[in-house]
Amino acid sequence: MFYVPLFCKSNYSFLEGASHPEELVEHAHALGLGAITLTDRDGVYGVVRAYMRANELGMRLLVGSEISLDDQGTIILIAIDRLGYANLCRLITLGRRRSAKGQCTLALSEVCAHAGGLIALCGGRSGLLTAEVAPVALIESMREAFGDRLYALLTRHLEVEDAGREARLLVRARAHNLALVASTEVLYHDASRRSLQDVLTCIRHGVRIQGAGRLLQANAEHALLEPAAFVRRFADHPGAVERTLEIGARCSFTLDDLRYSYPLEDIPAGLSAMGWLRELTCEGARGRYGGEPPGDVMAQLEREFAIIDELNYAGYFLTMKEIVEFCRAEKILCQGRGSAANSAICYCLGITAVDPVRMGLLFERFLSRERAEPPDIDLDIAHTRREEVIQHVYKKYGRDHAAMIANVIRYRPKSAVRDVGKVLGLPETSVDRLAKLLSHQSCLDESVWAGAELDGQTPMHRHLESLTNQILDFPRHLSIHPGGFLLGFEPVHDFVPIENATMKDRTVIQWDKYDVEALGLFKLDLLGLGALTHLDLCFRLLEGHRAIELSMATIPPDDRATFDMLCRAESVGVFQIESRAQMAMLPRLKPRTYYDIVIEISLVRPGPITGDMVHPYLRRRAGEEEVSYPHPSLEPVLARTLGIPLFQEQVMRLAMVAADYTPGEADQLRRDMAAWQKHGRIERHHERMVTRMVAKGIDPEFAERVFNQIKGFADYGFPESHAASFALISYATAYLRCHYPVEFTCSLLNAQPMGFYSPATIVADAKRNRVEIRAIDVVHSGWDCTLEPAASPTAARPLAMRMGFRYIKGLGEHAWQRIEAARTLAAFASLADLVERSGLELDALERLAQAGALQSLQPDRRQALWEVRGHVSDRQNRPTLGLVEHDVVVAFAALSTFEIIAWDHRTSYHSTTGHPLMPLRGALQAVGLQNAAYIQGLPDASRTHYAGMIICRQRPATASGVTFITLEDEAGFVNLVIWPSVFEAHRVIVKTAAFVGVTGKIQAKDGVVHLIAESLWIPQLAQRPTLGKSRDFH
Partner 1 sequence: MDRWACVNVFALPLQLMLGRHAEWKELPAAVVDQDRPQGAILWINRYARERRLREGMRYAEALSLVPQLRVDVVGADEIALAVTTIADCLQRFSPGVEPFEDEAGIFWLNASGLLGLYGSLEAWAASIKQALDSSLGLYASVVVGFSRFGSFAVARAYRKTGVFEEPEHELQAARGVHLALLATSDFAIEPFERLGVRTMGDFLALPAAGIRRRFGAHALRLHRLAAGSLVAPLKPYQSEQPTEQARALDDAEQSTTRLLFLIKQLVHPLCLALDARGEQVVELCLRFVLDHAPSIEESVRPAEATLDEAVLIELVRLRLETMVFAAGVIELNVIARGLRASVEQLGIFVEAARRDLGAANRAFARIRAEFGDHAVVHLRLREGHLPEARFEWVPLQKLVAARAQPTPLRPLMRRLFPIPLAMATHSLAHFDHHAGPHIISGGWWVREVQRDYHFVEKPDGSLLWIYHDRRRDQWFIHAEVR
Binding site for partner 1 (CB under 8 A): 158-160, 162-163, 194-195, 198, 209-210, 213-216, 218-221, 424, 427-429, 432-433, 436, 453, 460, 463, 846, 850, 862, 865-866, 869-870, 873-874, 885, 887-888, 890, 892-893, 895, 987-989, 991-993
CB 433, min distance to partner 1, A: 7
3-class state of residue 966 by DSSP? strand
CB 821, min distance to partner 1, A: 27
Stated as kind and residue range, the H or E segment containing 760 is: helix 759-768
Give the separation between CA 22 and CA 26, rounded to whole angstroms. 6
By beta-carbon proximity to partner 1, the closer residue of 355 and 899 is 899
By beta-carbon proximity to partner 1, the closer residue of 294 and 425 is 425
By beta-carbon proximity to partner 1, the closer residue of 262 and 903 is 903
CB 955, min distance to partner 1, A: 14
Amino acid residing at 91: L
Distances 289 to 71, 281, 285, 336 between C-alpha atoms, Å: 67, 12, 6, 19
CB 1018, min distance to partner 1, A: 9
CB 520, min distance to partner 1, A: 44
CB 476, min distance to partner 1, A: 20
CB 894, min distance to partner 1, A: 9
By beta-carbon proximity to partner 1, the closer residue of 286 and 436 is 436
Phi/psi for 1000 (5° steps) reads: -170, -170
How many residues comprise the chain?
A: 1034
By beta-carbon proximity to partner 1, the closer residue of 359 and 471 is 471
CB 448, min distance to partner 1, A: 14
- Residue 1020 is classified by DSSP as -
- What angle, rounded to 10 degrees, do the helices at 194-205 and 459-471 form? 80
By beta-carbon proximity to partner 1, the closer residue of 691 and 1023 is 1023
3-class state of residue 145 by DSSP? helix
Stated as kind and residue range, the H or E segment containing 960 is: none
By beta-carbon proximity to partner 1, the closer residue of 16 and 304 is 16
Give the separation between CA 762 and CA 964, rounded to whole angstroms. 20
3-class state of residue 676 by DSSP? coil
Number of neighbouring beta carbons within 10 Å of residue 967: 25
Give the separation between CA 980 and CA 681, rounded to whole angstroms. 33
Three-state SS string over 222-266 comes to CECCCHHHHHHHCCCCHHHHHHHHHHHHHCCCCHHHCCCCCCCCC
Which neighbouring-strand residues pair with 1032? 953
CB 204, min distance to partner 1, A: 16
Number of neighbouring beta carbons within 10 Å of residue 276: 20
Number of neighbouring beta carbons within 10 Å of residue 340: 29
CA dihedral of residues 392, 396, 401, 406 (deg, nearest 10): -10
By beta-carbon proximity to partner 1, the closer residue of 541 and 965 is 965
CB 483, min distance to partner 1, A: 33
Phi/psi for 863 (5° steps) reads: -65, -40
By beta-carbon proximity to partner 1, the closer residue of 273 and 424 is 424
CB 988, min distance to partner 1, A: 5
Give the separation between CA 356 and CA 728, rounded to whole angstroms. 13
Amino acid residing at 885: E
Taking every pair of Cα atoms in the chain, the longest distance, rounded to a whole number of angstroms, is: 104
Which residue, 333, 336, 331, is CA-closest to 356? Answer: 336
CB 163, min distance to partner 1, A: 8
Which residue, 903, 904, 929, is CA-closest to 1021? Answer: 929
Sheet bearing 150-155, strands edge to edge: 35-41, 60-68, 74-79, 118-123, 150-155, 179-183
Which residue, 509, 488, 519, 524, is CA-closest to 317? Answer: 524
CB 428, min distance to partner 1, A: 5
CB 853, min distance to partner 1, A: 15
Give the separation between CA 235 and CA 217, rounded to whole angstroms. 24
CB 893, min distance to partner 1, A: 4
Q: Are strands 1031-1033 and 943-954 parallel, antiparallel or unpaired?
A: parallel
3-class state of residue 937 by DSSP? coil
Phi/psi for 302 (5° steps) reads: -65, -40
By beta-carbon proximity to partner 1, the closer residue of 298 and 989 is 989
Give the separation between CA 164 and CA 162, rounded to whole angstroms. 6
Number of helices (H), then strands (E), in the chain: 43, 22
By beta-carbon proximity to partner 1, the closer residue of 632 and 879 is 879
Give the separation between CA 953 and CA 826, rounded to whole angstroms. 48
By beta-carbon proximity to partner 1, the closer residue of 765 and 867 is 867
By beta-carbon proximity to partner 1, the closer residue of 329 and 884 is 884
Establish how many alpha carbons lie within 13 A of residue 145's alpha carbon, considering only the half-sphere containing its beta carbon: 21
By beta-carbon proximity to partner 1, the closer residue of 160 and 826 is 160
Burial class (CB in 10 A: 0-12, 13-18, 19+), 996: buried
For residues 401 and 394, the answer to whether their CB atoms sit within 8 Å is: no
By beta-carbon proximity to partner 1, the closer residue of 179 and 212 is 212
By beta-carbon proximity to partner 1, the closer residue of 330 and 1032 is 1032
CB 205, min distance to partner 1, A: 11
CB 1020, min distance to partner 1, A: 15
By beta-carbon proximity to partner 1, the closer residue of 198 and 525 is 198
Q: Are strands 1008-1017 and 972-978 parallel, antiparallel or unpaired?
A: parallel
By beta-carbon proximity to partner 1, the closer residue of 201 and 747 is 201
Amino acid residing at 1017: W
